[in-house]
Structure formats: structure tokens, C-alpha cells
Amino acid sequence: MDLAKKWNGELINADSRQVYKGMDIATNKISSSDVIKKDINDEIVYFSDNIPIYLLDIVNPDENFSLAEYKKIALGKIESTHNRNKLPILVGGTGLYISAIVDNLDIPAAPPDENLRKQLEQKNTEELFGALQKIDFISAEIIGPDNKRKIIRALEVYKTTGKPFSSQRKKGKPLFNILQIGIKTERKYLYENIDKRVDGMMENGLMEETEKLLKKYDSNLPAMSGIGYKEIGSYLQKEISLEEAIQQIKFHTHQYARRQMTWFKRDGRINWIENYQEAEKFVEKFIK
């Protein structure tokens, strides 16, 4: 937000969970008191201190939303931001979303197969992950063992095209000049912050938000497998205690953070910073 204020910027979401409507607390969607939501041409745009934040709340939790769709919408938003002589700032932690833009990924054209998805949904995550490891070890390493939605999509692409998902994501010619900035945090403090955030999510109404979502949507939907909703959903279905649910959210978020760092550390183009002042210097040099 501070970089956007200084450099005439606009924010574009690159978080694969914050695209969903009604999923605010577990996704840590911006929720400060000054946030205003405006409906602009049938698109909900968040504004904070007059800085727009795009691609939040763009699909319902029961709608399919692919990487290819994200790339198309995000590129359109980047173009319109450029046309207003603004600086587009892509923000988020979903590595594949960011890579789709930064690397101009050529994404497999494999349309959703609803029958196949229903069959795969019947299997547990461990079984699906094992199947993915056998046919596409690279994708399995990137996705991890807990993201059922992405595991199913990788299996779907393989069964539809006959080729591993990882072998089909080819990099294209760069579309933009890009500066990448990553926030460097010691793991000890990262975990402490995660645990505080989870406690804050519970205080801010994660239980009530999950209950509201489950009244409207099936618990087996890919969107409902997100960290926070999955564990509280298990508590609400009396499968685990509330204490276990909270501990699982913290543990699963620790795991996800480790996978994020593994993903991003492979990219030598990322400039790692410890504070805002360092980020500002990188941006100033980049702009010049």
C-alpha cells in the first residue's frame, strides 16, 4: 500500500484464495476500517486510502476458476492499469499465479471434466497425492500433499491430455519489465506471526464465517479445502475438537509457508528485503 501511494500504483491480487467471495477471514483479505468496496462495471473493487485493489471477490466458492482464467483476467487488469499511467503491483503468495504473469506461462488447454472431477473427489487427499507422485512427481513436489483442489486439477490435466501438468507449463516471451520483491523473515518469527494470526482469525469470527459458508456450499468443494475452512469444518462436523482444529490450522499454515519459501527461493530474480526502506530503494531504481 505504501509503495502504491508513493509510486502512483494500483494493486492486483495474486492470491488464489482471495479470489473467492465470502472467504475473507481465513484468506486474510484486507479488512481495515477504511476499506470501501465499489461495484464498477459489475466488478467488485476494494479501495483503501483511494488505492484500488483488483481481483478480490471475483468468483463464488462453487465456481471453477483455473490458472488460465486468472492469467487472462490479470493481464487485462495490468493493461488497463498501464493505460491509466499507473504502476501495476501484483501482490500475493500463490507462486503459480505470479509465475503465470512473470514468466508468461503457456497453460495447458484442458477444460474441466466434471465427471472425472466427481470421481476424483470421492478419493481422499492422500490417495490422490500418491497417484500424482507416480505420474507427475514435479507437480506433486510443487503442490504438496494437502491441496486437494490442485492435486485433482493436475490429475485431470494428465488424464485429459496424456501429458504431465508440469511438462506443459512452458515459459513464453516476457510481456513486461518486472521487479520482484520478497519479504525475508526468520522462520521463528514467521511461525510466531502465523500463530498470532490464527488466534486473531478465531477472535474475528472464523467460526461464524465457516458456518455461513457451509450453509450455502458443499464442504467437499475445492474452495472449502483452504486452510482454516477445512479444519473448522471438521470441528463443526464433530470430527475433531476445537483445540485440535486450531492447532491443525497453525501446523498446516507452517507447512504451506515452508512450501512457499521453497518455491520462491528457486527464483534468483527475487530481491529479498527485510523492511520497507529496502523495498523503496529497489522500486526507485527500477522506476528510473
**CATH number, domain with residue 228:** 1.10.287.890
Same domain, 9 and 82: yes
- The answer to whether 125 and 133 are in contact (CB under 8 A) is no
Q: Retrieve residue 52's grid coordinates.
A: 484500488
Domain membership flag for residue 102: yes
Write out the residue range of the structural domain in which residue 226 sits: 187-257
Q: CA–CA separation, 156 vs 165, rounded Å?
A: 9
**Within a domain: residue 274?**
no
pLDDT for position 282: 97
| Residues 95 and 130 reside in one and the same domain | no
Q: pLDDT above 70 covers what percent of the chain?
A: 99
> What's the rounded mean pLDDT across residues 273-277?
96
Report residue 109's pLDDT band, with 50, 70 and 90 as the boundaries: low
Q: How confident is the model at residue 42 (pLDDT cuts 50, 70, 90)?
A: confident
CA 233/CA 230 separation, integer angstroms: 5
In percent, the amount of the chain with pLDDT more than 90 equals 67
Helices (H), 12-85: 67-83
Domain count, the chain: 3
Global model pTM greater than 0.95: no
Distance CA 137, CA 21 (A): 32
Do 72 and 130 fall into the same domain? no
User: Number of H helices and number of E strands within the chain?
Assistant: 13, 9
> Do residues 191 and 124 share a domain?
no
The whole-number pLDDT of residue 220 equals 85
In a domain, residue 173? The reply is no
Q: Is residue 26 part of a domain?
A: yes
The better pLDDT of the pair 235, 64 is held by 235
Q: Is 92 inside any structural domain? A: yes
Within this chain, do residues 75 and 63 fall inside the same structural domain, yes or no? yes
For 233-249, what is the mean pLDDT? 97
Higher pLDDT, residue 264 or 109: 264
Note the pLDDT tens digit of each residue in 196-235.
Answer: 999 999 999 999 999 999 999 999 888 898 999 999 999 9
Comparing 31 with 22, which gets the higher pLDDT? 22
